[in-house]
Amino acid sequence: MSLPHAHSGDVITLKALGAGLPQAISTAIVRTPHLELIRSVLHKGRTVPEHKVEGDLTIQCIEGKLAVQAHGMTTMLLPGELLFLAGGVSHSIAADEDSSALLTLVRVTAK
């Protein structure tokens, strides 16, 4: 399932994948020199190990339940909730349930 990135003016649906979630995979939605949008699918029990990115980011839970570790605490993210993380902040993500989320990342160009 290799989809082309969206172009300016394109509409992207963020609706829950629902019954299709167990078979779904993460997909890149938008990628420009300054902005990246990813529909991230994380199945129950899977984790994104601790890492950091240079730019500011948001994690918006669309469905499921995500546990985000950052700033020395664990934050549970439910559908309709968005977590803001500043660039350079180490974080990890664990899926308590089959989950999908919109990741929005500011791409910081090389200094």
Positions that interact with a copy of itself (CB under 8 A) = 6-15, 29-30, 32, 34-35, 37, 55-56, 58, 60, 70-71, 73, 75, 77, 80-87, 89, 102, 104, 106, 108
Neighbours of 99 (CB within 10 A): 27
Nearer to a copy of itself, 20 or 86 (CB): 86
Minimal distance, residue 45 CB to a copy of itself, in Å: 23
Q: Give me the least distance between CB of 37 and a copy of itself, in Å please.
A: 7
Neighbour-count burial for 53-74, b at 16+ CB within 10 Å, e otherwise: bebebebbbbbbbbebebeeee
Question: Shortest approach of a copy of itself to residue 50 CB, angstroms?
Answer: 15
Backbone angles phi, psi at 22, to 5 degrees: -60, -30
Tokens of 1: 């399932």
